[in-house]
Amino acid sequence: MILANKWEDYEILECGDGMKKERWGDIVLVRPDPQVIWPRATPDWGKYDALYHRSAKGGGNWDYRKSLPESWIIKYKDRRFKIRPTNFKHTGLFPEQAVNWDWFSKKIKESKRPVKVLNLFGYTGGATVAAAAAGAEVCHVDAAKGMVAWCRENAALSNLSEAPIRYIVDDCVKFVEREIRRGTKYQGIIMDPPSYGRGSKGEVWQFERDLYGLLQKCSKIFDDKGLFFLVNAYTTGVSPTVVGNLLRESMSGFSGNVSSGEVGLPISNTLNTLPCGLYARWES
């Protein structure tokens, strides 16, 4: 497991009984997490600002103990991100991904050459902001218009409004197919595909069925002198080794190494860590 353990504005305070208590800047939230199957060490959650209740019918709602701002800002190193509790429990940022941001940012900086990065299923742009801050030209693609707008906000908060970032609202597979026809090449590719999703025109995505095909397509737009290819996943029941195998097969025409494993976050009140998904990395 690789740990995102360099945060100052984010912290998992404690976990138990299917929930995690987190500090986002000065605001403390309690949210469900399916990996937390151990009991809570304390009788209750103590002080917190909002707790998310999951509904038995799907979805859920926030129970606010006090009035919170609609959104607020947290920082990671020189980057800043807007946090906003959504009605599907998320906050607009996956803090465990900071360990991947640091990895590819170092590779971009140390390359000392122009680097073009494609971020697929880019969400609110944590990886896009990190890559742009490291000096890359970035193409950010997501099927949800609101998420792409949120990415633009995060870039502005990190003083990257004028950075070479393209913001694309589109189905990721169809976008890659067009890039193949155009002959576009990228030196870095990042993707965070969902378990299930729909494109901008209703296209259906299923992780187990469609990931390999997309990786194959992406290999056709990867530069011969490319630096890295990162796949993140949160699909339950999929092994990091499986995703690593798919990436290795797809990148068999390139000279590089593949590694895979879990990403995680430390839990402050114990020596334990919380697994938060998986990664597979190809690097030259």
List Cα–Cα distances, 6 to 77, 102, 265, in angstroms.
Answer: 9, 10, 10
Round the CA-based radius of gyration of the chain to a whole number and report it: 19
Q: What is the 3-state secondary structure (H, E, C) of 87-124?
A: CCCCCCCCHHHHHHHHHHHHHHHHHCCCCEEEEECCCC
Backbone angles phi, psi at 5, to 5 degrees: -115, 25
Residue 223 has pLDDT above 80, yes or no: yes
Q: How far apart are CA 217 and CA 120, in angstroms?
A: 13
pTM: 0.95
Average pLDDT, the chain: 96
Neighbouring CB atoms inside 10 A of 113's CB total 10
58 falls in which pLDDT band (50, 70, 90)? confident
- DSSP letters for 145-179: HHHHHHHHHHHHHTT-TTSSEEEEES-HHHHHHHH
Say whether pLDDT at 201 is over 80: no
Q: Does residue 202 have a pLDDT over 90?
A: no
Average pLDDT over residues 256-277: 97
Which of these ranges, 53-67, 146-160, 232-246, has the smallest mean pLDDT? 53-67
Residue 214: phi and psi, rounded to 5, are: -70, -40
pLDDT-derived band of residue 200, with 50, 70 and 90 as boundaries? low
Summarize pLDDT for 224-262 with one digit per residue, the tens.
999 999 999 999 899 999 999 999 999 999 999 999 999
